[in-house]
Amino acid sequence: MAGGVVRAQKNGSRRRRHGRAQPMAEINITPFVDVMLVLLIIFMVAAPLLTVGVPVELPKTAANALPSEKQEPLTVTITAQGAVMIQKTEIAIKDLVPKLKSVATERDNDRIFLRADGAIPYATVVQVMGAMNAGGFSNIGLVTDIGGPTFNGTNSAGSNLLGQATNGQGG
């Protein structure tokens, strides 16, 4: 008597299939992970390119960087060729004050940064700073690179500016 005994199928399964496909019980996440990794690589490559601005050889200083703010800082740049730019847009020096006045009305603070190439004459830098002040910005910051001179006659790396060894006696 074979009542109550279920015979095994040839493939080892006890359940009969009636020609209907069973729904998948799990989701294949491999393609999703592949796409996410590709996007991660794209963002890692593109992120440094977003900070590239106008090429300027900034003067060196021993000062520390300022803490960042919520609003993007407004920057005026003077290139080595003497071109004046607000952010990345070149502007004529005669149009600088009216343009800064219109920008000042849209901003919630009067902070502005000046990036001037080290080869630019001091008179030009002062002229642009005066235009910035006349445009409504009284809080002017000068942007520099680190590694420049300190007040004791050495650069921030500790070597003498004239290339001479220092003995700590201010000589």
How does residue 163 score in pLDDT terms, banded at 50, 70 and 90?
very low
Q: Is the model more confident about 13 or about 83?
A: 83
Q: Is the model more confident about 65 or about 92?
A: 92
* Cα-Cα end-to-end distance for the chain: 114
Instruction: Find out whether 8 and 14 touch, Cβ atoms under 8 Å.
Output: yes
Digit-coded pLDDT (tens) for 21-65: 777 778 889 999 999 999 999 999 888 776 656 777 777 777 766
φ, ψ dihedrals at 30, nearest 5°: -60, -45
How does residue 3 score in pLDDT terms, banded at 50, 70 and 90?
low
In the chain, the percentage of residues whose pLDDT exceeds 90 is 20
Digit-coded pLDDT (tens) for 117-137: 888 898 988 999 999 999 888
Q: What is the rounded distance in angstroms from the CA atom of residue 103 to the CA atom of residue 109?
A: 11
Q: What's the pLDDT score for residue 166?
A: 45
Beta strand 139-142 pairing with 111-116: parallel
> Looking at domain 88-149, does it have CATH number 1.20.58?
no
Q: Which residues contact 97 (CB under 8 A, 6 or more apart)?
A: 131, 134, 135
Instruction: Give residue limits of the domains in the chain.
Output: 88-149
User: pTM of the full predicted structure?
Assistant: 0.51
